[in-house]
Amino acid sequence: MRSRPILYWAGIVLPIFLTRCAKEEAKPQQLLVNGNFENGNTVPTDWGYLTEKDIYNGEWSDKEFVSPSKSAKISSLKSDSTVFSFWYQTITDNLPFGKDVTLKVKIKGNITGKGVSIAIRTDDTTIPSGRAEQFITTQNLSPITGSFNWSEKTITLANVKPTSMSITVYFIYLPKTTGEVYFDDASLTY
């Protein structure tokens, strides 16, 4: 008679408990390199900065930061109605096909106008060009503008297409914006 309760616990309850514990221990996989902007010589390693006009300043800053001592900064004293500026990183290895990817970054700013946004893009090429396969941004969903201390912003791209050859993340200083903004502690996980 005692063997039934033991068999019940050993055969049914214990495997369910162990399976649930294994699922809870799974940690998100990080895709970005140097997400805290700490490594590099004159610019942060694995990050790029682009702008079409010299009214924007992209800097690797040690004045404001969350992590040990560096962040990525964009600033401008003049506003442009059509041109924007951005920090970016493109990932081409170990893409998580069929999975959602979540971009998180801490942002501090004192900006007026349209503000900044974060975005995720996938392409069927290793270098972003032409029309994106997938694209999502906070630009029209959740504007980031005004004066604010460090706060985390997040956006998720659902179901990375199996035809994707790259994923690029962007921290964008939008047209019609002035002021300064800092980005730090970025992650792209699945």
pLDDT value for 80 = 87
d(CA 49, CA 66): 20
Q: Which two tokens stand for residue 156?
A: 């998720």
Contact 103, 169 (CB under 8 A): yes
Q: What would the pLDDT profile of 20-47 be if each residue is shown by its tens digit?
A: 544 556 788 999 999 999 999 999 999 9
Contact 35, 186 (CB under 8 A): yes
pLDDT value for 10 = 46
Token pair 């990183």 is found at: 89
The dihedrals phi and psi of 80, each to the nearest 5 degrees, come to: -120, 140
Which of the listed CATH numbers 2.60.120.260, 3.40.50.1010, 3.40.1360.10, 3.40.50.2300 matches domain 27-189?
A: 2.60.120.260
The dihedrals phi and psi of 7, each to the nearest 5 degrees, come to: -65, -40
Half-sphere exposure of residue 187, counting CA atoms within 13 Å on the CB side?
11
SS3 161: coil
Average pLDDT over residues 106-127: 97
d(CA 141, CA 16): 40
pTM (2 decimals)? Answer: 0.85
Paired with 138 in beta bridges are none
Contact 172, 131 (CB under 8 A): no
